[in-house]
Homo-oligomer: A and B are copies of this chain.
Amino acid sequence: MENEIVTVLDIETTGLDPHTDHITEIAAIRAEVGPGGYIREIGRFQTYVALPDVNGEAVEIPEFITELTGIKAEDLRGAPSVWSAIGALLAFVGEAAVIAHNIPFDLRFIAANHPLGDVITYPHGFACTRAMSRLIDPDENASLAPTCERYGIALNGHHRAMNDVEATLQLYAVLKEKAEVNGITYRNVVVDSPERPLTYTPPGAIVRTIERKQTKEVA
């Protein structure tokens, strides 16, 4: 296993649909990852993102989203526009491979909100720690919290973007080694399954279909 430069990212949103919902927070850590859980941090970026006005009205954050993420509309006052925030993210990621937990969700929102969002994974592709978890432990719950728990990785304050990024980075270092030792292909791989159909296929993705059911998933 060779060392590689990655950028792990996570976005928080007002909901699941990029055409009606909005990004509220972006976080990312750029790091070198190597064998034995080696992680060397190179930089990190976290920002709230301003909500747009739609038909002259400020978009509101649904109450259950504020409960889930802790993010209130007033937190986003004075934040960069979604164009600025994704523009900064694209420049920060540069040529690093992009890592996220359930990456189709993040890449879909990024592509829908910036004219160059699609190229974020160029040229070194991406890895999805959720797909890696499904491929390595097909019977286990692949959500971030239970996967971190299985591998003894702390996840404090789940659904604040930087907390999720920190945990995902550690998880990636562990799962990458495990996948490589077991000959499991994970680069650019996304997982489709009847219980959780793929809603977005990132450019260049390899889709693996898993029929086997995982244990009940939590958010």
A interface residues, Cβ below 8 angstroms from B = 5, 30, 32, 42-48, 75, 77-81, 84-85, 87-89, 91-92, 94, 96
Contact = CB atoms under 8 A, between A and B. Distances in A.
Given A32-B77, A80-B30, A92 B47 contact: yes
A85 B78 contact: no
A91 B82 CA distance: 10
Contact of A84 (B5, B32, B48, B94): B94
A94 B85 CA distance: 9
A92 B87 CA distance: 8
Contacts of A42: 47-48, 75, 78-80
B88 A45 contact: yes
Nearest to A92: B88
B45 A47 contact: yes
Contacts of A32: 77-78
Nearest to A162: B44
Given A30-B79, A42-B79, A43-B79, 19 more contacts: A30-B78, A42-B75, A42-B78, A42-B80, A43-B45, A43-B85, A44-B44, A44-B45, A44-B47, A45-B45, A47-B92, A80-B92, A80-B94, A81-B94, A84-B92, A84-B94, A85-B92, A87-B91, A88-B88
Contact of A43 (B5, B46, B77, B94): B46
Contact of A80 (B47, B79, B87, B91): B91
A75 B81 CA distance: 31
